[in-house]
Amino acid sequence: MPKRTDIQSVLVIGSGPIVIGQAAEFDYSGTQACRVLKSEGLRVILVNSNPATIMTDPEIADATYVEPITPEYVEKIIAKERPDALLPTLGGQTALNTAISLHDNGVLDKYNVELIGANVEAINKGEDRQLFKGVVEAVNAKIGYGESARSVICHSMDDVISGVDTLGGYPVVVRPSFTMGGAGSGFAHDEEELRRIAGQGLTLSPTTEVLLEESILGWKEYELELMRDRNDNVVVVCSIENFDPMGVHTGDSITVAPALTLTDREYQNLRDVGIAIIREVGVDTGGCNIQFAINPEDGRVIVIEMNPRVSRSSALASKATGFPIAKIAARLAVGYTLDEIPNDITEKTPASFEPTLDYVVVKVPRFAFEKFPAADATLTTTMKSVGEAMAMGRNFTEALQKALRSLEKKGSQFTFTGEPGHKDALLATAAVPTDGRINTVMQAIRAGATPEEIFDATRIDPWFTDQLFLIKEVADDLAAADKLGPELLADAKRHGFSDIQIGEIRGLREDVVREVRHALGVRPVYKTVDTCAAEFAAKTPYFYSSYDEESEVAPREKPAVIILGSGPNRIGQGIEFDYSCVHASFALHDAGYETVMVNCNPETVSTDYDTSDRLYFEPLTLEDVLEIVHAESLAGPIAGVIVQLGGQTPLGLAQALKDNGVPIVGTSPEAIHLAEDRGAFGRVLAEAGLPAPKHGTATTFDEAKAIADEIGYPVLVRPSYVLGGRGMEIVYEEARLSSYIAESTEISPTRPVLVDRFLDDAIEIDVDALYDGTELYLGGVMEHIEEAGIHSGDSACALPPMTLGGYDIKRLRASTEAIAKGVGVQGLINIQFALAGDILYVLEANPRASRTVPFTSKATAVPLAKAAARISLGATVAELRAEGMLPKTGDGGTLPLDAPISVKEAVMPWSRFRDIHGRGVDTVLGPEMRSTGEVMGIDSVFGTAYAKSQAGAYGALPTKGTAFISVANRDKRNLVFPARALADHGFELLATSGTAEVLRRNGIHATIVRKQSEGTGPDGEPTVVQLIHDGKIDLIVNTPFGTGGRLDGYDIRTAAVSRGVPCLTTVQALAAAVQGIDALNRGDIGVRSLQEHAERLNAAREG
């Protein structure tokens, strides 16, 4: 059955900002889908509020709307574009929920838009727990096996409490309906836990529905990825087995593909059930994933859930097998059948087959608990990880150890030196799933635990446990051997040991181990991911390393550029860096190079085998990169390695790579050092005559006090050599300085604390620029909405800058040029400035692609990362202007007056975390970055753009209702104007007594409400927290004051998060919100595609 001819245009909904549970994998899926649909000749209309995605690049779709993914905005887009069809299955839960809303409110009917990929009935059957239970029962009736866990559906707390008895007692699992990433679900072992988890779940579920379920904690967990076409052909693309047994969300589990501990009979049972389910649910065209639990005692199979859409797991499965699920799903949605679609990798065989693997894939999650010290780090059925790394090897041990080192986290690799600790204590620790449990298990093995003891503590399958024993035995052999012989080394490498690990065991430096290894000729080979276990020849160079015999890297003629990616997503280093790497690959391919991508993050576009000429799915460590460079140098000429686009990960490798003779293109490692080293950078600034805030370094409290006394409080303190603002704090007084120094474990004589003058009330400015050695191209100037002191990644910002004049831009340009020149940048540089009074301070400079590059590129319609890649390889700004990659004249500092205004807003993961008592974590912004993603609002005026950014990030700003205001003393002066504006818009104002007093004195009426600490009043007057929980408050303004972990207003802010009420924590954000509310109340907010914005902007540039 060929392509449908009745569909000419398709609307694709993306997944919005990166949040925990919904990350870059949907950019990967969506990008694939859009490209496929476009290549089929369809007009592709895309909506996604996330500017850091490849899918929102203007060339990916025909009309790209960077607008909020809400039914209201999507309806505007539908009304304007009138698409024939809507494809909702590639943008995660966000897209699916939006599509369902548009169906339920009649918009799809009204505009005659057909849902393709999955119909509403199928979506509901898959997502609604009760309906899905019926599906499983129907399947059981047909094929005789497959069952659901015993469960009860609850719509109230009374249902919940009585439900436990129905199931036969605790523990029980609580799962809210229609939430993504398992948000709000968890295990309850007693009534108190149950009330807390179920209460929250009822709130989180859009249908106020939770499911209580019998506990299958400790069972084996599996997942199947399936695809079905309109001819009812079904294939299972991949099986995935969880290393961590049931009880840990699959996104937080170490997972393995293919399943390794099933006999064929058991596997085929899962397959039969899976196929029967996809048919029963009625996913006509596309993919779904189904999760299973198996009782290790007797093999009883329970179907846990299904997702009738592409998912994080399907992205993983695509990368693991080479079978591009999203791409195929898009083809199926427009009418093709599986047998009509060729397998990309072999080109000769069809997609209607099941990939078979001759390697093992291991995915490990990456967590960010260090950013949320108050959060409970126990792993549950609510996903908490912020990213993941995947590795492939020819066996499990090799893949596992590669995956662990891909995490790039201190302590993520197994260590075999030092005292392991006490066995019983280690086993007790390992019994509770946490980040790094596998390392605890390894230490327990070192401490003498038996396989049975490990199983009893963890319920990890004995086969996996034995593999850990195997690794430990290899480590023992390494330690015991007289010398590092070729057989021993090869054996260790075959089980995934890194040179660092071997060096640690043998007491040798990493480079010494490497030298010995190379001298003995022990080097990896590169195997191809080919979907078919070598049955057919692969045409796609998608490689992984293994210490095996035969390498499959083919020779090439063209010079290669090796691009180092950014590794697992983490807070501070996310999808934005992948964006830049992908752009570099595209631009350099077009410029005649063979592009070679290295990365280990399965969620990304960079690890799509379609993105670069060659893909190495490998850890980003010095050892692994050096081996790839070696292998590629045998294959043909190498033009160079790009390290400046993937964030701190590749940048950190630059010097060592250069020391090993690897050609680094673009900004040199020495120049990187000039910008990163405080002393050296200070000299660059001094030479250029640019001011930086006063600062000093200290290793003791007395030294720090002396510096602070001299430069004056508040001061910004942070440990040296940390990333993403880790441990950074604004200190207002001496007592806190003392406790900060006492608490910080990162400070030592060799690791001093940095003490900077904190610029209170300063405007923070971010600049992205290109420099080719002679000419500066100012990419964009962003003005932060929050004041300096809030990490730039967490701050909202506007481009063009709202309050800066021509003189300021001139100064910024001159300073940027001086720094770029002084440091020796060849490519991108990002500089953070603070404008305090009339002085422009330089806060820091990063000679690399920044987090804001995609935002700046989209806001100004100029591909900065592409240009940076070209400049790295010798092109000049002048040449790129002539080519048309950069505008003929002018730059991001000279945008026309009627250029659109773009606002970036950060998205925070507060709702994901609870402390050990089950309370929310505080939401106050600070110098340490904690956001997971961002959205962009774009419009012709600031207020509307800001309102869109809020709608995209958190839900629409309220345009009327009740606003609660409570601000710190230092904010009270700035509060008056925006508060008056709120009142003018008809908001009823509530305030705490101090704030109310200030407002009243300024003639603004505000009702005093009770603080949480005051408790309920004598006549039952509720506290503000009770009002929030009762849904009586529509907008919260609460700026924190005080010091220490528990800031005042904590209860207010956590209540706001749990109820989803907009909560502004700075006065500047309130001022921006007022402009947004103003725009909303004026009405008629339009939507405009990036292509239209670019057309206008370019016309204005020409004119």
Cis peptide before 927 (omega within 30 of 0): no
Chain positions 1005 to 1044 lying near other proteins, rule: CB under 8 A, are none
Indicate the SS3 state at residue 223.
strand
- Applying the rule CB under 8 A, the residues between 541 and 580 that interact with other proteins are 548-550
Distance CA 1001, CA 1003 (A): 5
Q: How many residues bind other proteins (CB under 8 A)?
A: 61
Interface pick for other proteins out of 533, 554, 1099, 1100 (rule CB under 8 A): 533
Distance CA 320, CA 238 (A): 8
CA dihedral for 1032, 1038, 1041, 1046, sign (positive or negative): positive
In the bound complex, what is the minimum distance in angstroms from residue 265's beta carbon to other proteins?
6
Q: Please, how many CA atoms are within 13 Å of residue 730, restricted to the half-sphere of its CB?
A: 20
Smallest distance from the beta carbon of 294 to other proteins, in angstroms? 10
The reply to whether 356 sits near other proteins by the rule CB under 8 A is: yes
CB closer to other proteins out of 396 and 841: 396
Contact range with other proteins by CB under 8 A, out of 174-182, 294-302, 619-627, 741-749: 294-302
Minimum separation from the CB atom of position 617 to other proteins (A):
16
Among 169, 299, 637, 1042, binds other proteins (CB under 8 A): 299
482 binding other proteins? (CB under 8 A): no
- Tell me the window of 264-272, 582-590, 900-908, 993-1001 that interacts with other proteins (CB under 8 A): 264-272
Q: Looking at beta carbons only, is 448 or 637 nearer to other proteins?
A: 448
Q: Does 534 bind other proteins (CB under 8 A)?
A: yes
DSSP state of 691: -
Judged by CB, which is closer to other proteins: 273, or 588?
273
Nearer to other proteins, 72 or 340 (CB): 340
Question: Which span sits near other proteins by CB under 8 A: 454-462, 562-570, 644-652, 832-840?
Answer: 454-462
Nearer to other proteins, 318 or 1089 (CB): 318
**What is d(CA 906, CA 174) in angstroms, rounded to the nearest whole number?**
30
- Identify which of residues 455 and 586 has a Cβ nearer to other proteins in the complex: 455
Distance of alpha carbon 400 from the chain centroid: 22
Nearest C-alpha neighbor of 343 from the set 360, 325, 359 = 325
CA distance 531 to 353: 9
Pick 296 or 824: Cβ nearer other proteins: 296
> CB-wise, 397 or 959, nearer to other proteins?
397
- 492 interacts with other proteins by CB under 8 A: no
> Cβ-count burial of 9 within 10 angstroms (0-12 exposed, 13-18 middle, 19+ buried)?
middle
Closest CB to other proteins among residues 265, 917: 265
**Rounded to the nearest 5°, which phi and psi values hold at 675?**
-80, -30
Q: Does 296 engage in binding with other proteins (CB under 8 A)?
A: yes
> At which residue do the structure tokens 């899962």 appear?
270
C-beta of 264 vs 898, nearer to other proteins: 264
The backbone torsions φ and ψ at residue 66, rounded to the nearest 5 degrees and listed phi first, read -90, 80
Task: List 1017's β-bridge partners, or say none.
Answer: none
* 916 is a contact residue toward other proteins (CB under 8 A): no
Report the nearest approach of other proteins to the CB of residue 273 (Å). Answer: 11
Token pair, residue 421, equals 């600790």
CB 453, min distance to other proteins, A: 12
- Is 133 a binding residue for other proteins by CB under 8 A? The answer is no
Of 86-94, 266-274, 770-778, 1041-1049, which segment contacts other proteins by CB under 8 A?
A: 266-274
Contact string (CB under 8 A) for other proteins, positions 326-345, x = contact = -----------xxx------
Interface with other proteins includes 233 (CB under 8 A)?
yes
Q: Contact with other proteins (CB under 8 A): which of 71, 355, 574, 693?
A: 355
Contact between 339 and 352 under an 8 Å Cβ cutoff? The reply is yes
With a CB cutoff of 8 Å and minimum separation 6, the contacts of 178 are 93, 97, 127, 128, 205, 206, 207, 209
* Rounded Cα distance, 396 and 602, in Å: 18
Site membership for other proteins, residue 352 (CB under 8 A): yes
The rounded Cα 487 to chain-centroid distance in angstroms is 41
**602/569 Cα distance (integer angstroms):** 10
When asked if residue 255 is in the footprint of other proteins (CB under 8 A), the reply is no
Among left, alpha and beta (phi > 0; psi -120 to 50; other), residue 755 is: beta
140 binding other proteins? (CB under 8 A):
no
Q: Is the Cβ–Cβ distance between 86 and 115 less than 8 Å?
A: yes
* Residue in 535, 590, 687, 702 binding other proteins, rule: CB under 8 A: 535
* Residue 492 beta carbon to other proteins: minimum distance, rounded to whole angstroms: 12
Residue 1076 near other proteins by CB under 8 A: no
Residues 932 and 907: beta-carbon distance below 8 Å: yes
Q: Which of 471, 469, 475, 470 is nearest to 502 (CA)?
A: 475
CA distance 423 to 427: 6
Q: 708: helix, coil or strand?
A: helix
**114 lies in the binding site for other proteins (CB under 8 A):** no
Cα distances from 491 to residues 126, 507, 515, in angstroms, run 46, 19, 17
Tell me how far, at minimum, the Cβ of 862 lies from other proteins, in Å.
Answer: 45
Contact with other proteins (CB under 8 A) among 138, 260, 447, 983: 260
Nearer to other proteins, 175 or 394 (CB): 394
Instruction: Kindly state the smallest distance separating residue 362's Cβ from other proteins, in Å.
Output: 12
Candidates 8, 130, 207, 268; binder of other proteins (CB under 8 A) is 268
442 binds other proteins (CB under 8 A): no
Considering beta carbons, is residue 256 or 1024 the nearer one to other proteins?
256
**Residue number with CB closer to other proteins (281 or 357):** 357
Instruction: Give residues 376-405 in contact with other proteins (rule: CB under 8 A).
Output: 394-396
The correct pick among 263, 745, 750, 774 for binding other proteins (CB under 8 A) is 263
Are 1035 and 957 within 8 A, CB to CB? yes
CB contact at 8 A, 146 and 303: yes
Burial class of residue 393, CB neighbours in 10 A (0-12, 13-18, 19+): buried
Pick one of 140, 203, 231, 1098: the residue that binds other proteins (CB under 8 A): 231
Q: Is 479 in the site for other proteins (CB under 8 A)?
A: no
593 binds other proteins (CB under 8 A): no
Q: Which helix (H) or strand (E) holds 220?
A: strand 220-228
- The tally of CA atoms less than 13 A away on the side-chain side of residue 1006 is 28
Question: Rounded to an integer, what distance in angstroms lies between the CA atom of residue 173 and that of residue 381?
Answer: 9
SS3 state of residue 731: strand
Backbone angles phi, psi at 570, to 5 degrees: -150, 170
Closer of 535 and 733 to other proteins (Cβ): 535
Q: What is the dihedral of CA 1080, 1086, 1091, 1092, to 10 degrees?
A: -120
Among 271, 405, 736, 881, binds other proteins (CB under 8 A): 271
Q: Which CB sits closer to other proteins, 537 or 839?
A: 537
Phi-psi region of 531 (alpha: psi -120 to 50; beta: other; left: phi over 0): left
**79 counts as binding other proteins under rule CB under 8 A:** no
Residue with token string 């030298």? 515
486 is a contact residue toward other proteins (CB under 8 A)? no
Would you count residue 800 as binding other proteins (CB under 8 A)?
no
Count CB-CB contacts under 10 A for residue 1028.
25
Least distance (Å) between residue 813 CB and other proteins: 56
Q: What are the residues binding other proteins (CB under 8 A)?
A: 231-233, 235-236, 258-265, 267-268, 271-272, 296-299, 337-339, 348-350, 352-360, 394-396, 451-452, 455, 461-463, 466, 469-470, 473-474, 477, 527, 532-537, 548-550
